[in-house]
Structure 1
Amino acid sequence: MNGEISRQGLRITELETTTGVQNRRLEGAGVAIAYLIGRVRELHGYIRSVGMEPPTAEPIPEKAREFIHHDV
């Protein structure tokens, strides 16, 4: 019984560590996406400011829509 409890405790610790790593990766990915959206907007504005028309954007994939907001 003690061995099983110890094994489960170790497994919980491993899962907590994995969750922490995944959370940091997701946070980093969110920051990267926000940066890239801002950079694209800056480039879009620059292209318009020099009198050119930026290329038409492809539609946002369905899976990405819930993560990319136009107010970012």
Structure 2
Amino acid sequence: MAAVAAVGGVVSARAARRTKRQENRDDFLAITTQQGRAIQRLEARVQRQETEAEKQRERISDQDEAIGWLLHRVRTLVSHIKKAGLEPPTAEPMSDRAARYVRGIDV
């Protein structure tokens, strides 16, 4: 009787044991699930960066338009002052950073 019970225990233990193939499959599923989450996080980060870049492009475009309008306005005022026979006041020195964007303009 004890021998039958021992054999039954061995058979039960063997049936409950996972095969190497099952363990590999579960490892693969765990890794692919983890990679899927990592890819989703990266996609969300890229989307946020693209949204922020679009906002910055729009802001720069608006600033470019504002600078263009200001330059036109200054030219008009200088022209009006010169037509009146006066000389506009001398401009204050411009920083190098500003000069990169306003070079070639006689203001």
Task: Note the residue ranges of structure 2 that are not aligned, 5 or more in a row.
Answer: 1-34
State yes or no: 1:4 paired with 2:30. Answer: no
In the alignment, residue 55 of structure 1 is paired with which amino acid?
A: P
Q: What are the Cα deviations for residues 26-54 of structure 1, in whole angstroms up to 9, with x where unaligned? A: 01111111110110000001011111111
What is the alpha-carbon root mean square deviation over aligned residues? 1.0
Q: Which has the larger radius of gyration?
A: 2
Q: Tell me the residue number matched to 1:37.
A: 71
CA distance in 2: counterparts of 1:55 and 1:5, whole angstroms: 60
Give how far 1:60 is off.
1.7
Moved over 6 A (4+): none
Read off the aligned partner of 1:44 and give its amino acid letter. Answer: V
Could you say which structure has the higher helix fraction? Answer: 2
TM-score (norm 1): 0.91
Task: Check if 1:62 corresponds to 2:96.
Answer: yes
User: How many angstroms does 1:70 deviate by?
Assistant: 2.4
Q: Does 1:17 align with 2:17?
A: no
- Structure 1's unaligned 5+ residue stretches are none
Instruction: Indicate the percent of aligned positions where both proteins have the same amino acid.
Output: 34
